[in-house]
Structure 1
């Protein structure tokens, strides 16, 4: 089988790549002929996030995409993991490039949606400013599951403003909201504030703060991902 197009996947806060892979196992199985899902670890160790214990108590260390230890203020660009001072968006681009392959999409859960959104917004800014993507293939879509918070601020975001720009992401996206999610209001705010309603589509699942798990809901999410990718290939 030829190499499949890849989707970069980012776990929630207080989780890790191995846990997110388990949580996405049904979805990955449904998409196995269409995409390869590749899971990345956040750089900072932290305590377990919502819903992680007791099921994943053996999956330590738990990780975060944002540094909060030692300072009460979270660094919105995901920096602080080395002495280089590079933002987290650039770090994630580098991780993806090191993996190789054709990257067509990004998917995040909870805090991981901020990473996915940061990559999409960074790409949007680069292309609008004619800065180019280098050897990177442009991402065609994003998937935000049970999201909350603003997109991770990239270096270009710092350059064009104060890092609090509310320019909406126009790259096509799928957003999964859990109607029983304790953080539903935060996900609704993320969707309404940072994404263009013309290119974002909403899927409401009757589920809590977790990846869709009921068969019909996972099948629907898989089909939405296929649809958004097919549409992006025609545009």
Structure 2
């Protein structure tokens, strides 16, 4: 076991899932990475029905969660707001959750490692893109406004079986950004038998810079890699992208 605090990866479940389920789905990966990283799982703020592949395996894990909700007209709130009366976006909420995780560990007398990455599955990849884009935009604009996260520098992201645009964040309302693509290094996992593969490919091609992204394809459906050789390869790729960008 590691003797010093491990770098941490913030992890975001799919729509209609929850942190406890994603923890189970990543258990083999977490075991392979236990000497290198600590995976920390967060819950979305909204309740919904079970997502694809959740039942019957995870019956009893209710309530299932989502990172997005809709307004009164039925339109999605693309910034993840609506979870309280402040109107703050979902990216800001997660930054705050990460800070709270720091405080809780420190109150227990536990040392904390740096936050170095974000990883998400399905809808959770929109959180990954949103967090990376928020950090990138703050750096590009040298924005010193409320919510500056000077203590965190995410080095990479992992998007597994993703679909959809990155979650919008507050800084996008303060500045006009010509470039909307994520330039921070990312690893993308696509399932060749996945029903959302066309959407995964669209996400990969549309929202991520060609010079900073890499692709890992596995030959099965909408699920985190679970075959031994494939999980081992994913763990290797995560270590490699961290090593290249540490």
In the alignment, is the contact (CA less than 8 A) between 2:46 and 2:69 conserved in 1? yes
Counterpart check, 1:152 vs 2:167: yes
CA distance in 1, matches of 2:72, 2:49: 14
CA distance in 2, matches of 1:50, 1:91: 25
The counterpart of 1:119, out of the listed 107, 131, 134, is 131
CA distance in 2, matches of 1:90, 1:11: 17
The aligned counterpart of 1:42 is 44
Partner secondary structure for residue 160 of structure 1? coil
CA distance in 1, matches of 2:96, 2:230: 33
TM-score, normalised on structure 1? Answer: 0.95
* Offset, 1:193: 0.2
TM-score, normalised on structure 2? Answer: 0.91
In the alignment, is the contact (CA less than 8 A) between 1:97 and 1:136 conserved in 2? no
Unpaired segments of 5 or more residues in structure 1? none
* Offset, 1:134: 3.8
CA distance in 1, matches of 2:237, 2:216: 9
Unpaired segments of 5 or more residues in structure 2? 103-111
* Offset, 1:68: 2.9
Partner secondary structure for residue 108 of structure 1? strand
1:134/1:54 CA distance change after superposition, 3 Å: closer
Alignment: residue pair count: 231
1:166/1:189 CA distance change after superposition, 3 Å: farther
* Offset, 1:130: 1.0
The aligned counterpart of 2:16 is 14
The counterpart of 1:53, out of the listed 41, 55, 58, is 55
